[in-house]
Amino acid sequence: MAAKALEMDGSVMEGGGQILRVSAALSCIQGSSLKINKIRAGRSTPGLRPQHLSGLELLRDMCDGNLEGATVGSSEITLTPGKLKCGSYIADPQTAGSVGLLLQISLPCALFTGDLQSSA
């Protein structure tokens, strides 16, 4: 029997994209499915923006996972991660200021790809 997806409320605290980035990264590291609803509900333009979508797609590729409901404006997504893997990835957040946001979502996962002892 498959484990139930963890569910997160994306409107908690300031209701911005940080809960999305942290939750998705931890989901991939742990290998647990994640459902996030009310994404960025506290913002004047709620839902996924292009930079959030780009980050989620990057994670999906890094963990060979499945991403459902992810389009610009979506208020709910489901991420089902596979196994994190080393590789070269391309992501376009569409604004220079969003490059740091891509690092926030992907760097924690990159640390868990491959054999850490071989890189020491």
* Per-residue pLDDT tens digits for 62-113: 999 999 999 999 999 999 999 998 888 888 887 777 888 899 999 999 999 8
Range of the domain at 22: 6-119
User: How much is the pLDDT for 75?
Assistant: 95
Percentage of the chain exceeding pLDDT 70: 92
pLDDT band at 3 (very low <50, low <70, confident <90, very high): low
CATH classification at residue 111: 3.65.10.20
In a domain, 46, yes or no: yes
In a domain, 1, yes or no: no
Domain count, the chain: 1
In a domain, 51, yes or no: yes
| Distant-in-sequence, close-in-space partners of 16: CB < 8 Å, separation ≥ 6 | 40, 42, 43
In a domain, 32, yes or no: yes
pTM of this prediction? 0.87
Measure the CA angle with vertex 32, ends 78 and 102; round to 5°: 65
In a domain, 108, yes or no: yes
In a domain, 55, yes or no: yes
Does residue 119 carry a pLDDT above 50?
no
What is the mean pLDDT of the segment spanning 14-43? 91
Does residue 30 carry a pLDDT above 60?
yes
